[in-house]
Structure formats: C-alpha cells, structure tokens
Structure 1
C-alpha cells in the first residue's frame, strides 16, 4: 500500500533518518514507538506529504487516502456545531443533500421533467452512498467519544482543546481513510473513550499507524511495532509486549556479536601494529588493513532504559490519618459533582482516581488541596501532613528565566548541586542540558522538570493530575520507579491503565455524586467491574466497593442481621478457627518453600552448576515448579486471611 525505501531526513546536520525503510500493508495496525525527539511525528508528516525527505522514495498506491490526527488540528475554530464539523467527512453526501434541497425548492415553483430527472439521479446516488444514515453514524461516533446528545449542537469554539481534538478524531473516523495516522490520541481521551476507540480500531478495515505512550492501548490495537532508533525503522511483528521480549532477545544477540567483533578487531589491530614494519609479514598486515576497512561494523547496544537511583525523602512523618472529607457537597450552579460525600485517606495509601471526564476528578483534587471552596462539608488534613500538587497548569508556575538546576534549587535547598544533577539525570537531563532555560523547553521537558520539583519538595502527601501527559514511555517508566520508591501517600488522576496498574493499591472513582473506593489494584478493580456489569449491579448501595473474596466465603456481613442466633455465632467461631488454622499452615509451608527457593537461587548463581551435565536444566525445572507452588500457597493464605477477617467482623 505504502513503501518507504532508504529514507533520509536531516534536521540541520543531524540525520533524523538514515536509509530507513518500511512497508505498510493494507489493514496493518502499526505502533510507532521511540524516545522523544527521534522523529516519530516527523515520519507521519513525511508520509502525509507535509515534509519532503532529503533522500529515498515513498511510493503510494493510487487509491490510498490518508487521515492524520495531529496537534495542529487544535487551532481549527468555527461557529459551526460539532456535529456539523464531524459531518464534513461526508463531502459527496453533503453536496448531494444540498443539491436535492435546491431542486426540491426549485420544484415548488417550476415543476419540470428535467428537474424530476435530476432529482431522481441525485437521490439514487445519495441512497447508494448511504446518505440517509450518515447523521446517525456521526452521532454514534461522537457519543462513543464522550459527547452527550445535547453537546452535538453546540459550536466547536465553545469546547476546550482536548474536546476539539475529539471532534477532529470523529471526523477522521467517519472519513474511513485507507491509512489512519494518530499522533498521541489518548492524551485527549478519558478511559471510557480510550476503550471505545480501541474497539473501533480493532475492527477498522484500513491500515492504522499510532504514536502513543499508552502501553495498554498499543497492546490492544496494534499487530506490528516499528521502533525509531538511531535513524532506522526497526520492525517487530507483534504488539508492544511482544516488542519488549523480542527487543531484549535481539539486544542479547547483538551484544554478543558486537563483543566478538570487537575482540577480533583488537586482535587484527595488534597484528597490524606488530608486523606492519616487518618485511616478511608486511603483505599480510596490509591484507588485514583492507579486511578491517571492508568489515561490516556491528553497532554497540545502546541501553535506552533509565533507572531511578535517587531516594526521594521527606523530613516530617505524618500521623496515621492523612485526610478526611466529611459530608462534602460541591456543585457548579445546577451541576452537582458531590453530594454529602465522605472519604478517608490513611498514611501509605497509593490511590488512583479514575473515571470519565466531567465526573469531577480534577475538582476533587482541588478540594483535597484546599484550592476549591466547598458548598457544604469539611476538609480535614491530618497531623503533620504537607502536600505538593502537580497539575498541567503547574507548568505555568515554573520560572521561565530560571535554568533547570535553578528551578530545582528553589524546590529543595538542602540538596547539593551534584544531588540535583542526579535527580535531573533520573528525568533524562544530562550534561550541560541542566543549564537550559525553562522558556526553551518543550511541553514534555517542562512536565519532567515540574514532576522532579514536586518529588523534591519533601512533601509527605502528593496530588498528581494527569502526570503522564506529554511523557514518552521512558519518562513514564521513570515516574513509576520514583513513585514506587516514594514512602509517602499520594492521589493520582490518570487514564493510563498500565501506569495506574503499577502505582496504585486503591482505586477511587466518582459515582452517584459519591466518592467510591475499591480496596485493591487496578487489575482487580477491572475484574470486579466486569463482574458487576454482568450481574447488573448499579453500585449505589455503598460508598466503598468490596474487596475481591474467594468463592468459599459465606455471604457478606451486610446481609446478616445483627441479632444472629447463638447457633449461628458458634458456626462462625468454628469457621474462624478453621480459616485461622489454614492461614497458619499455609504461612508455615510458604516459609519452608522460600528457604528452598533461596537455596536453588544460590545454586543457579554458582558457575559450577553450568558445568555439570543436566544439573542446570534440573534446577531450572525445580525452580519453576517451586515458584508456582509458592504462588498457589500465597493465594491460599490470602483467601484464608480474608475469610478470617470477614468472620471476625461478624463476631464483633
């Protein structure tokens, strides 16, 4: 469909692409990945024809149509309704509709056979193009992207940038180009809309190229990964998870080949140096020189992963209770966000606040920070709680005349310059980059500086609103590591499911004007939500979602009357004793297996194991079995403990 051969493209003297090649097939779903600045968006613009390559060829089939979602579309403004803008996708149908309307108007005063014939032909083509259903298709896609029915008639210019971008996405989807190119589409979508777009792309008949930092989105929609690295386009026939595994294997092979070649080069150079002046060996030495010149040099493996090796600390330990919102009500005119809502936050809670846009997530963060006034209720911070708030508008609070090092010094004066450089290094700024002024940084670079500043603030409570926006995957991974090392409490708003699954031990969501809590990880929450949807539950009966329970656990405490009989209580006491015994036995077995596991790990680390015939394979098999047994026992222990907790609650 599209063939890119030996592409070269230069930014000044720097080669962004150097003899890069890629073939895009009909129906292929490609994820274009790479570090910021490697040229992903540039490649899309080259394919679209906006930029001209400095070398190579781009061949396109004659019937190829391209739809390109990019940040430039945010500048489009009009008084037309968003439904009208989306329906601009149907150019021919719109033209035919205007023609039919004009003919019908003309026929009111001039009814002729010629007009009847024209009307018939126009209506026939309009029907063949499915013109009578184009509006319903547009409405379906717009509502799938999060617009309400009432929104569809509102002018485009009344919407924020993110919502305008959704309108442009809807228009592109309705055009159904043979190649759909999406540059960071999830930056402007909430979770329900992301999931809707995933399903749409999965069933999309044309080819798709997506640039995204959302790992789960890529895993769910692409079948091919193309990595931009060192001026080349590296092809991986699978989704992002496949790419990570395959990339690790390729790097291992390349590393071995590189080391072997370097050893051979050193050996050859020593031979040349030793014998170039010896008459009897001069010819051989010259032959080795030519051999080196002809050699296809294998590149060294560049480690593009980054590790956080700085410990983020705070000096003041808070009390057990971090925050309590008591009977909180918040409304904007007739629109209610919260009504008599109540939530508590304890020390060490790692909370992800998720849900659709417009539900009040950012409002809730501002309420927690104290910057948003309440209509009713109380906000109470705990003892010694100090917080730091990161939001997109926080980028504007950076001093644009400061360089990065000065900006971090303003957040934490106790750190030395070396330590602050180390922090900036964790966030991918190295060398003289730390002296760049804030005013010359890109949006993504400013986000990284602002995040580093928040983490250096010595606050024991963090509020982070969409911290992964404008970050590439490497930067997201750095933030995950930083939050994993952070010993305080935080509430994070994010639509990035992989990020949330890595950093949260509790999930908050706003439903029925209440703050609901799920006491578990995001993966557990998703499973619980799918089971809830299948059972038709509405979730209106309690403010806190139940933790997942094993199948053997008796009915919920809430379903048992308080005046339970003595016989019932005796039954619960016996069940509690049994569950406690099961937990104790499982814990003892876990201890025994962990000792065996450590012993096996020691043996596997011993080089002598690798020299004994069959010993390595035997120990690896034992290790794998032991790991599975441990996982099973740990699950048994968790189930028994959950059951014991439930029964203890009933007996109180």
Structure 2
C-alpha cells in the first residue's frame, strides 16, 4: 500500500532519517514508537505530504487515502454543531443532499419530467452511498467518544480543545481512509473513551499507525511495532510487550557482537605489536593492519531505559491522617459533583482517582488543594504539606530561568551537584541544564515541572494527568520516582499502565460520592467485572516474545596440548606448529565471515517475523561464536609455540 525506501530527512546537520525503509501493508496496525525528538510526528507528516523528504522515496498505491489526527487540530473552531462538523466526513453524500433539497424546492414551483429524472438519479446515488444512515453513524461514534445526545447540537467553539479533538477524531473515523494515522490519540480521552477507541481500531478495516505513550493502548491495538532509532525504522512483528522482549534480545546480540569485536581488535593489536619487528611476520602484520582499517565497527549498545537513583526526601513527617472530607457537597448549577460525601486518606496511601471526563476528577483535586470552595468540611492532617501539578502550571515556569535556576527556586537547600543529579534522572544531562525554559518543548517543560514537584519536599502530592506529553522513557522515570517517593499522593491519569504501576488504592466518583477500592487498578477492574458493571474484556492475543532457547553444546575445537618446548634444532616440530597456525588462521577467517553473515541476518528486522527462522539463526550464531573463540584460543597457543620453537 505504501513503500518507504531509503528515506532521508535532516534537521540542520542532524539526521532524523537516513536510509530508512518500511513497507506498510493493508490492515496493518502499527505502533510507531521512539524517544521524543526522534522524528515520529515528522514521519507522519511526510506520509501525509506536508513535508518533503531530503532523499529516498515514499510511494503509495493509487487508491490509498490517508486520514491524519494530530495535535494541531486542537485549535480548530467552528460555529457549526459538533454533529455537523463530524458529518463533513461524508462529502459526496452532503453534496447530494444539498442537490436533492434544491431539486425538491424547485419542483414546488416548476414540476418537470427533467427534474423528476434528476431527482431520481440523485436519490439512487444517495441511497447507494448509505446517505440515509450517515447521521446515525455520526451520532453513534460521537456518543462512543463521550458526547451526550444534548451535546451533538451544540456549536463546536463551546467545547475545550480536548473535546474538539474528539470531534475531529470522529470525523476521521467516519471517513474510513485506507491509512488512519493517530498522533497521541489518548492524550485527551478518558478511560471509557480510550477503551471505545481501542475496540474501534481493533476492528478497523484499513491500516493504522499510532503514535502513543500509552503502553496498554498499544498492547491492545497494534500487531506491529516500528521503532524510530538511529535514523532508521526498525520493525518488530508484535505489540509493545513483544517489542520490549525482542529489543532486549537484539541488544544482547549486539552487545555480544560488540564485545567479541573489541576482543578481536585487542587480539589483533597484540599480534601487530608482538610481531611488527619480525621481518618473517611482515605479511601477516600488514594483513591485520588492513583488516582493522576495513572493519565495520559494531556500535556499543546504549541503555535507553534510564534509571532513577535519587532519594526524594521531605523534612516533615505527617500524622497518620493526611486528608479528610466530611459531609462535602459541590455543584455547578444543576450539575452535582459531590452530595454529602465523606472520604479519608492515611499516610502512605498512593491513590489513583479515575473515571470518565466530566465526572469531577480535576474538581476533586482542587477541593483537596483547597482552591475550590465546598459545602462541608475539608481537613488536612497534622504536618501535611502538599504541592499541586497540573498541565496549566507549566505556564508558571519562569521562561528566563535555565533549568538549574528553576530547580534552585523550588528547593534552595540543594547544591548544584544535587540539582544536576535530579535533572539527570529526568533526562537532562551535560549542557542541557543551562538551557532556558523558553526554548524547551512541551514534554521537556513537563519533565522540569515534575522535577520541581518532587524537589519541593512536600509530603503530599496532587498530580493531574502528569503523563500527558511525556514519552515512554519519561513515563518510566516518573513511575520509578513515585515508587521511591515515601510520601502520599493522589494522581488523576488515564494511562492504565502508569496507574497500575503507582497506585495501591483506587478512588472513583459514583452517585455523587467518592468511593474507594483498596487495591491495584488491575484488581479493581476484576472487581468491576465481578460486579457486572464492566463487560468482560476480550482475551488479548499473547504473542510469544521470543522463541525458546534450545541449549546446544557445539563440539569444542581441539586445543593443542601444551608440551615442553622442543629444542631449536627440532625442525620437524617447528614445521608442524607453523602448519597448525596457518590452518587455524584459515579457519578463523572462515568463522569470522560466517559470524558476520549471521550477525547481518540477525540485524535484519525481517528475520524476526518467523520464529522458527529466528531460533535457527540464534543456534547457529551461538555455535559459531563458541567455535571462533575456541579456535582463536588454539591459535594463540600455537603462535606462542611457534615463537618458542623459532626463538
């Protein structure tokens, strides 16, 4: 359907893509992943024709249509109702409807056979295009995305950016393009809407490319993962969990290849150094010097899974009770959020507040923070100090500060070394710490704001959608930081993997009350199913992450036994030793070629599509690597023997 061949794209002198290739087939469900700044959104824009590549080719089949949901659509506004905006997807049907209405109006004053024929043709085409059902389809999708029946007639401009994005998603889904491209679609969706989109995309007839930091969403939706790394597009034939396992395996192979090559380089350099002064070894020495020059260097594996090694401390220990609400009520006109609600929170509680948008989750955080007035009693516990993180607070960062200055403002007691350590945990290293806040991306600002929250020495955190605009590596860092945090917190998030990783209790709003489930998010979901409030989740296809490793013991290469050094006059022994060295050198060359070929095959993403092929390649690679090591060791022993005999 779409073939990307030798794609290149540069930002200044930095290559976002260089010789990248990918074949997108019909019905593929692709998760496009990679660190922020690697070019995921740029690739989508190139596929959409908004950006032209610097090199290579993107070819599309003649019948390929593309629908692209991106964050720019947040700014779209219209006086039309959201139902009318969504129905703009049916361009031809809308044209026919206007034509039919015009003909009918004309026939009221001028009834002619010509108009009757024209009306019949228009109505036949309209019916063939399912024109009489388009409104029902649009209403079903909008309501699936969280809109009420009343909302459908309201002007688009009355809705926030996140809700406008849902309307644009509905319009896109109604268009049913051959390739549906979704850039962070879950950022502005609540959990029920995310689950609805999951099911829709799973059953979508066309191909899909999703850029998302939501691991659970990717696991449930995609059947192929494409990683943007090293200016290449690396394909993995499975969902995100499959990718994690396969990525680890590929890294192990590359790490082994790197270590083996480094060992070979050291051995070759020792040979050159040892024999460079011997005229009889000049040919072998020169051969090895040239071999080093021609060698394709294997890159060292870089660990992209940053670890947090910082103890986030606070100076004041709170009492047992952190927060309480008694007989609390809150309403906005006729919209009731709380009605005589009671809830309490104790020291050490790690709470995730979940539920559909519009139920009052953010309002609840503001009530806890004391910035939202209520009827009833709000009480903070003894020695409780809190800090509040929300997306709008990114605007409170001082754009004139650099990163060190901004963190110093949050905690003046920390030294620059300690602040650098914290920034390192949040992926800012080297001279990055002197960047001005004003030049940071949205995701980078989020990381700075989160670092400030954790440096504040507060023993109680309120976090509203902290994973928005963070890539997976940054989400992983935040998870580690919160797992190490010894205080209490309440988190509002729609990221199920994140919630499962950091919460030991679940709060949810039901019947205008705050209710508590004393367990993890996974346990809460099971409990919901048992209550019959949630339909059973269909079993996910579990893709085996890696083929079983078959232990095989390759026949060892015989190492010549050490023997006492023969006398110099023993010419026969010297000739035998020299012959053995030549045989071993020939075998080493053969094995090195064989090993390089196997590494090339293992580096090819297509090798991972067939598990039986991958298993055979792994076995051959392990056998060849062992045989090469044994042969090299035998060669070294033989070389020493030749040196002693010739000595």
Q: TM-score band, normalised by the shorter chain?
A: 0.7 to 0.9
Q: Deviations over 1:278-314 (max 9, x none)?
A: 5443333333233234333222111000111000011
Cα distance, 1:265 vs structure 2: 2.1
In the TM superposition, residue 58 of structure 1 has moved relative to its aligned partner by: 1.0
Deviates more, 1:249-258 or 1:171-180: 249-258
Partner residue of 2:138?
138
Post-superposition offset of 1:274: 5.1
CA distance in 1, matches of 2:534, 2:183: 38
Pair 1:21–1:277, CA change in 2 (3 A): farther
1:229 aligns with 2:204: no
Residues 511-559 of structure 1: per-residue CA shift (max 9 Å, x gap)? 11111111111001001111212699xxxxxxxxxxxxxxxxxxxxxxx
State whether structure 2 residue 396 is matched by structure 1 residue 397. Answer: yes
Distance 2:45 2:401 in 1: 33
User: Match for residue 500 of structure 2?
Assistant: 501
Q: How far, CA to CA, are the matches of 2:269 and 2:183 in structure 1?
A: 48
Cα distance in structure 1, aligned partners of 2:276 and 2:120: 91
Corresponding residue for residue 168 of structure 1? 168
Asked whether the 8 Å contact 2:310–2:421 carries over to 1, the reply is yes
The alpha-carbon deviation at position 415 of structure 1 amounts to: 1.3
Q: Distance in 2 between matches of 1:272 and 1:120?
A: 90
CA deviation map 1:136-171 (0-9, x unaligned): 000000010111111111111111111111111101
1:637 aligns with: none
State the Cα deviation string for residues 17-62 of structure 1 (Å, max 9, x = none). 1111111110000000111111111111111111111111111111
Give distance in 2, aligned partners of 1:484 and 1:247.
25
Q: What residue in structure 2 maps to residue 26 of structure 1?
A: 26
**Alpha-carbon distance, 1:100 to partner:** 0.6
User: Given the alignment of the two structures, is residue 476 of structure 1 paired with residue 486 of structure 2, yes or no?
Assistant: no
Please list the CA deviations of residues 249-289 of structure 1 after superposition, one character each: whole Å capped at 9, or x if unmatched: 11111111111012112322343455556544333333323
1:479-527 superposed Cα distances (whole Å, 9 cap, x missing partner): 1111111111100000000000010111001111111111111001001
> For 1:483 and 1:415, how far apart are their aligned partners in 2?
20
State the match for 1:286 in structure 2: 286
CA contact (8 A) 2:34 2:228 kept: yes
Aligned to 1:263: 263
Mapped pair 1:50 → 2:68: no
| 1:88 alignment counterpart | 88
Could you say what the CA RMSD is over the residues aligned between the two structures, in angstroms? 1.3
Q: 1:479 & 1:60 partners in 2: Cα distance? A: 40
Contact 2:461 2:488 survives alignment (8 Å): yes
Contact 2:400–2:437 (Cα < 8 Å) also in 1: yes
Task: Provide the rounded CA distance (Å) in 1 between the counterparts of 2:533 and 2:331.
Answer: 32
Matched-pair contact (CA < 8 Å) for 2:465–2:492: yes
Q: Secondary structure at the match of 1:6?
A: strand
Cα drift, residue 179 of structure 1: 0.3
Matches for 1:22-421 after TM superposition, within 5 Å: 22-273=22-273, 275=275, 279-374=279-374, 376-421=375-420
Distance 1:377 1:219 in 2: 43
- Structure 1 equivalent of residue 609 of structure 2: none
Name the CA distance, whole Å, in 1 between partners of 2:293 and 2:166. 54
Cα gap change, 1:96 to 1:159, in 2 (>3 Å) = same
Q: What is the CA–CA distance in structure 1 between the aligned matches of 2:355 and 2:188, rounded to whole Å?
A: 14
| 1:440 aligned partner | 439
Are the counterparts in 1 of residues 528 and 534 from structure 2 also a CA contact under 8 Å? no
- SS of 2:413's partner is coil
Structure 1 Cα separation of the partners of residues 94 and 170 of structure 2: 17
Give the Cα–Cα distance (whole angstroms) in 2 for the partners of residues 218 and 352 of structure 1. 21
TM-score normalised by length of structure 1: 0.81
What residue in structure 2 maps to residue 600 of structure 1?
none
TM-score, normalisation: structure 2 = 0.81
Aligned to 1:463: 462
Distance 1:403 1:337 in 2: 41
**What residue in structure 1 maps to residue 571 of structure 2?**
none
Q: Secondary structure at the match of 1:281?
A: helix
CA distance in 1, matches of 2:176, 2:294: 49
SS state at 2:268 partner: helix
SS of match in other structure, 1:509: strand
How far has the Cα of 1:106 moved from its partner?
0.7
In 2, Cα distance between equivalents of 1:428 and 1:318: 31
Residue 185 to residue 534, structure 1, CA distance change in 2 (3 Å) = closer
Give the unaligned 5+ runs of structure 1. 537-652
Rounded to whole Å, the distance in 2 between the matches of 1:420 and 1:219 is 36
1:514-593 equivalences in 2 (<5 Å): 514-533=513-532
